[in-house]
Amino acid sequence: MKNYSRPFLLIVVVLLFFTGCASSGLQEKVENDPALKPIQIGKLISQVYKGVQRQAKNEDSLLPQMPQYLDKLLADRRLVIGLGVGTLDLAEMVVPSEVSGLISMAEYVIQGKKILVEGRLILNKDDFQKALTECEIIFVSTHARFGVGPAFFYDGKANPYRMQRTKGYVVSMSEAEVDGYQGTVIRTYDGFLKQKKYFDFEPDSRDLDKAVPFPGYQMIVMSTCSSEKHFLDDIAWLRAKYSTTAIFTTKPCGVDPLFRTFKRMLYGIFMGDEINRVVEEMNTEYISVAWEYMQKNIPPWCVIDGMYKIGIHNIN
């Protein structure tokens, strides 16, 4: 477990996973390997809070004035956090079989306020739809499906949350990457030297069109490949009437099954960092994780400066 205090400490954890294509027998291994522990949303949040407590013993972490975004998040003394979990081809992950692992509830003191913190795992499209309506913080770590939308653990790559509503946007996939996805095909063509066949699909926003936005300040992190390019306009459309901070990726990104960037984000929020500092810490964490996997020659991770970027920061 990484010690969440400054300066940053890097603990090396060796864990094999790929972000592009599924490894042979991965799902069977995940289901049968007792060493692979289920993701516990309550445990992830608790680890972050313990780090904040350790830091508070060393220095006065109580702010004279909270950043505006944090004041909004804590105004009703309740904080609902959703973590979107991607598909099994991205990482060796196990999700809990019992509700107690899927949802957590605990009272924490954040910046001097007693806050009831609820955590939720987002494992399918329905969970995500509900999170858009009910969660104040949403962190999604999965495929972007070339701009169609995020693909979640139980739905698979064939059935992403369809949220691409930009007119004229073309979703291009190779035949191998289509992987069961069904959409309206605009055209098919051969790639370079005819080694691959490609499909161009029309944009599809049937799921996002049904979404009911959370009626207050919301923070959304789309930790999917090149989400700034794919989804900034769609999130802006959904959140047009409400205060929002939306953080996107600038490049294709890896998926860490330990969710260390998610935890680093929460640590910065609980510590009361300004939003720019929160994103800086996320980028530092991403680089640390990327170095770890690169040293083990695990593709396709690479060190990218400025992976995360604020795309929307509108607080009314």
Asked if residues 82 and 259 have their Cβ atoms less than 8 Å apart, the reply is: no
pLDDT computed for residue 113 by the predictor: 94
Per-10-residue mean pLDDT, the chain, length 316:
42 32 46 73 97 82 88 97 96 89 96 96 98 98 97 97 95 94 95 85 97 98 97 98 98 94 98 97 96 82 92 96
Distance CA 51, CA 190 (A): 52
pLDDT computed for residue 300 by the predictor: 66
pLDDT computed for residue 55 by the predictor: 86
What is the C-alpha end-to-end distance of the chain, expressed in Å? 37
Cα distances from 209 to residues 5, 27, 254, in angstroms, run: 41, 32, 28
Strand partners, 38: 94
pLDDT computed for residue 200 by the predictor: 97
Asked if residues 308 and 280 have their Cβ atoms less than 8 Å apart, the reply is: no
Calculate the dihedral angle through the C-alpha atoms of 126, 128, 133, 137, rounding to the nearest 10 degrees: 160
Cα distances from 157 to residues 82, 206, 292, in angstroms, run: 20, 17, 27
pLDDT computed for residue 28 by the predictor: 55
Buried b (16+ CB within 10 A) or exposed e, 188-208: eeeeeeeeeeebebebbbebb
Single pTM value for the model: 0.89
Strand partners, 271: none
Cα distances from 69 to residues 11, 143, 174, 193, 270, in angstroms, run: 31, 28, 41, 51, 12
